[in-house]
A and B are shown apart, each in its own frame.
Chain A
Amino acid sequence: MKWPRRSALTGILLSAGIGACGADERFLSGSGDGGAFVGSSSGGVGTDSAIGGNGNQAGIGQGGAAGSAVDSGADARTDGGPDAATDAGDSASPDGAGLLGSCEQPLTGVGLVSGDTSAMPNDLDPTCASPQGSGNEIVYEITATENGRIELALQSSPDLGVSVRRDCRDATSEIGCADTRIGGEVLSTPVSSGQTVFVVVDGFSSTQSGAYTLDVTVKTAMCGDDALDGGEECDDGGIDPGDGCSGSCAVEACTTPRVLTDTINGDTTSSPSVMHTSCANSLSGPEDVYQFIAPTSGNYQFIVTPAGDTDFVLAVRPACADAALEECADAGFDADPETRDVSLTANESVFVIVEGWGVPDAGAYTLQVSSSG
């Protein structure tokens, strides 16, 4: 892909440079005037490009002064594949590797920024873009300095979406994606202190590219505000303990999980709904949490069998309140058993979550674990 060296970069430079209004000052840190996020050195847009900045200006990269980022991006341009691993869903041979606004040269910014994807590469495929493939994209890199969440509001005439991922070239690391057709996009994703995430502004399909504005605001974590922040395991909108989510926004069931050894009967009818497994509906039902410690190394099979016509999902994860590495099973519907096989070493602990697929899904079940050799 040929890269129009200046015209596109003009848009990018402006995009990253327009103001930082609205950032939560408590969340700000970094070099110089301060920034809500610490930008990467390669993608840093010079402070000169910031328009209307103030003493609390966010989104200022650590990197170079005005102009240097432009040159850096352009010079870094290559058409070869990056060293970074690619994955299913993204281009295996990225055209944009090393370009300013690519994974290797991400922009930084917070507040209201604008840009144009028209002349950008098309390497990444967010999960909420067209199944036939997304359009060109621009990438921002953001590093949180406190626990909290990033709130993104995208406006564009072309059909663009916005997504957040932990690893820029790993689509499976995506932690949020918004791409509807009307009224722009809104997305909120939790971030933990020190965590770097990549914000991808992408066309819904290959024909969708153009100008946009992206309002990036950051919120400091606050337990009980009904929004999941970095550092929180749950947030049910309150701080009362005993309802499944503690006053410090920890999943109470993870503190004292029931122990699974072989077979156990359970019922989620009166269980809390404060967790969310990766294969349940976005609005899911109540859940039960179990801990299983493998007596010996080997393969284990977990099966949940509904007693009635409840639609359960089954998740097995190493960390009780973190879905990042979980194995999740949702292969059926009402009354169908769900099965997940995992390989464990002796004394390895995993947490098993039985969750209703949707909000109304609750009921009795049998959970069984067996060694499968």
Chain B
Amino acid sequence: MADRAALLAGGVLLSALACSSEAPRDIVEPSAAARADSPATPPARAPTQLPQFDFLSTPGPELVLTKLAEFTPEDLPDLSLGTPTPHPILAPSDIEFFPNDSGDALLVLSTGLIVWLDRNMSVVSSFPVPSSSSLSKLGPGDTFRDNEGVLGLTFHPDFAENGYFYLHIVSEPRGGVDIWRLRWKPHLVDSLWDSAKLIFRNDKPQIATNPDFLFNHNGGNPSFGPDGKLYVAMGDGAIGGGLPWSENQSPKLNSFWGKLVRIDPEGIDAPEIVAKGLRNPFTHTWRGDEVFWGDVGATDGDHWEEINRIVVDPATPSTVPDYGWPAAPGPCWDASLAWTGVPLDCSQYVEPLHGYRKDDSTYLDEDPETGVPAPGTVNRSAIILGPAYSGGAYDGYFDDVVLYGDLIQGWIRGILFNEEGTPIADRHVVHHGKWITGFTIGPDDKIYMLGGFVESSAIFRIDVVEPPAE
């Protein structure tokens, strides 16, 4: 088990979210002349992070991650083949509370199991996502790999009236993304899939010199916008791995890969592309009519994790903003990453609001429970975006703060954007360690974190440490 876990952790997860395995090695690095010709003017300083701030101006309350529950494969057996079978992989991808104040939640394992939890995080029941190939076969050597399977869940804003919830699924190895709508009936949990309706399918062109690359970059964690539409963030699908960058579909408007897509939740109206040039936006969140997403960067080392933003116009967009992938990964001015070999006109790309380079250890340095890593040892990361907080559980401390963590580096931070989306503060919040998979808000307005990867899945809550009673 341990060997398998280590193998997965080192070989699969990192390749999936922070992956570089599909990165072609025959890329022509931009010449010095091309860099010099780039209209993007690098700053006088060459920071490896976007602007740093003092973060929130006042010291916040002491915060702690309270572990509420932890599950092992024995607790959550694989049901996808009809017979409960303990499986060594849990691979949690999402947790969402029912929008009804019950405190119940659905925990999503990318292996294909949806677990119904009560308010005490005890298992009430579970149901599998059926698959002809069995999503339990997740991992190297098996059929599926991570970044495939069930990658997110969201409830319809009118859930109280219609009982609908949605799943973001890659149901076949190296396959495309399907968005399914299901109806929640607690007394019919065992047959919930009978209610499933496919509302969106994004097939994956099987173009790559090595088709095995195609397991990757499938996005996840769908959500509803204030316009009542379902927003699906789609990665580039790792399509064209090993092929020229011109095969990458993120910039192309004839493909939904590498896009933020707006979908009719009934599956009737045609989907609309809201943003393009995305790489692997596994998580996103809303603040009013703004949607922020975390875009996981490419090759380990000198690439970037990004936080991007768009103000969503309910009207069909006349132009689709380009967030740069693959031509301008990270901030466009970072000419060292302009690996297309073509001089970049950065005016055509929307720069990330915020981000950090994978080989920058600053956020680890600021995590008091991690300590300062040895120079040159930090080169892997994968951003996990949390909620834009608007609840009342932290005495205003997190008002309008967007939480984010790093799957691999294990810290949780908060970033405060002004109304224009400019970051004005960014600071360490709390430490977790590997693996941070996702965040959500509970009916108590508390921030919940999903952790774990291979051998366990754990649910935490960010709590304020109460002073000892006198």
A residues touching B (Cβ–Cβ < 8 Å)? 130-132, 159, 180-182, 204-205, 281-283, 311, 330-334, 336, 357-361
Contacts and interface: CB of A to CB of B under 8 A. Distances in A.
A181 B443 contact: yes
A282 B160 contact: yes
Contacts of B191: 332
Nearest to A333: B195
B162 A358 contact: yes
A325 B119 CA distance: 32
B119 A131 contact: no
Contact of B188 (A182, A204, A331, A334): A331
B118 A131 contact: yes
Nearest to A336: B194
Given A180-B101, A181-B101, A130 B185 contact: no
A358 B188 contact: no
Chain B interface mostly helix, strand, loop or mixed? loop
B161 interface: yes
Contacts of A358: 161-163, 183
Contacts of A159: 119
Interface in B141-190: 158, 160-163, 183, 185, 187-188
Contacts of A204: 119-120
A159 B17 CA distance: 39
A285 to B, nearest CB: 9
What are the 4 A-B residue pairs with the smallest beta carbon separation, nearest first? A333-B195, A359-B161, A181-B103, A180-B101
A167 B162 CA distance: 32
Given A159-B119, A205-B120, A330-B185, A181 B444 contact: yes
A66 to B, nearest CB: 36
B413 to A, nearest CB: 27
Interface residues of B, number: 25
B124 interface: yes
Contacts of B163: 281, 357-358
Contacts of B197: 334
B181 to A, nearest CB: 10
Given A358-B161, A359-B158, A360-B161, A132 B122 contact: yes
Most chain A beta-carbon contacts within 10 A, residue among B100, B158, B162: B162
B102 interface: yes
Nearest to B124: A131
Nearest to B196: A333
B113 to A, nearest CB: 18
A204 B102 CA distance: 11
Most chain B beta-carbon contacts within 10 A, residue among A180, A181, A282: A181
Nearest to A208: B120
B372 to A, nearest CB: 40
Nearest to A128: B102
Given A281-B163, A359-B161, A333 B122 contact: no
Given A281-B161, A283-B160, A332-B194, A311 B183 contact: yes
A333 B194 contact: yes
A357 B184 CA distance: 11
A171 to B, nearest CB: 16
A240 to B, nearest CB: 23
Contacts of B119: 130, 159, 181, 204
